[in-house]
Structure 1
Amino acid sequence: MSVSTVLVVDDSPVDLAHLKIIVEGAGYQVVTATNGKDAQDKAKACHPDVILMDVVMDGVDGFEACRNITKDAATAKIPVFFVTSKSQKADKVWGELQGGKGMISKPFTPEQIIDTIAAV
């Protein structure tokens, strides 16, 4: 699949801006969301090619948002990758059970982000 649009989801303005700079710098169009509910809405409206999502967010967290996105017929084919400080094996397994395709641990390198998107 050729990726052109990436939905980046993080409630931290600093992390969101950092991810946006990395992804845009690699030539992708970026749509941003600051919480899980917003991510679900934007996934339906924009149909991004891939989603990079934080886990720990107020309201609808990343795991719940991923579960909802991957179970909705309109968005089920969009791969979701978690970009999170939660890096225990149990977190990775739980993320996969929610429909996530992988997990990038914070702090991350630009190469990890770009390589993940490029592998889709």
Structure 2
Amino acid sequence: MLENKLRRFSCRYEKILVVDDSPTDLANIKGILGEAGCVIVTATNGKEAIEKASAEKPDLIFMDIIMPDMDGYAACRSLGNQAETKSIPVIFVTSKSQKADRLWAQMQGGKGFITKPYTADAITDQLKAFL
């Protein structure tokens, strides 16, 4: 059933940047987005996310919060302060689940919030919201 649902959903975005330091979560989200027909670029920390976003100009970013070198909050703030990346929506995908975490994510410029463990539907629903 889920495979049929993903096949019917067509990702109109040229590129999606997925940022997570967990190889498992990175692979899972890439798989979900790949099934939806998206072109995927990856990064494993906030600094790399900023570099990839500036170079690749993705249409949407799925980003973890807790990462080494630079967390997702700081990366989102930085992306929002740069002219070439400020219009790219950032969807946080995180194990942080408190109401305060959601509010802080929104205050940093996040446009969406998905709590781990996530479902494929949660990821594709965010895609649909920004299409």
Equivalent position to 2:71, from 28, 48, 61: 61
Q: Which segments of 5 or more consecutive residues in structure 1 lack a partner in the other structure?
A: none
What is the TM-score of this pair, normalised by structure 1?
0.97
Q: How does 1:31-110 map to 2 (within 5 A)?
A: 31-110=41-120
Structure showing greater radius of gyration is: 2
1:27-86 alpha-carbon deviations (Å, 9 max, x no partner): 000000000000000000000000000000011000000000011111000000000000
User: Are residue 12 (structure 1) and residue 22 (structure 2) matched?
Assistant: yes
Residue identity (%): 54
**Structure 1: distance between partners of 2:34 and 2:17:** 11
**Structure 2: distance between partners of 1:4 and 1:25:** 14
Q: Which segments of 5 or more consecutive residues in structure 2 lack a partner in the other structure?
A: 1-11
**Structure 2: distance between partners of 1:108 and 1:4:** 23
CA contact (8 A) 1:3 1:118 kept: no
What is the TM-score of this pair, normalised by structure 2?
0.89
Runs of 4+ aligned structure 1 residues displaced above 3 Å come to none
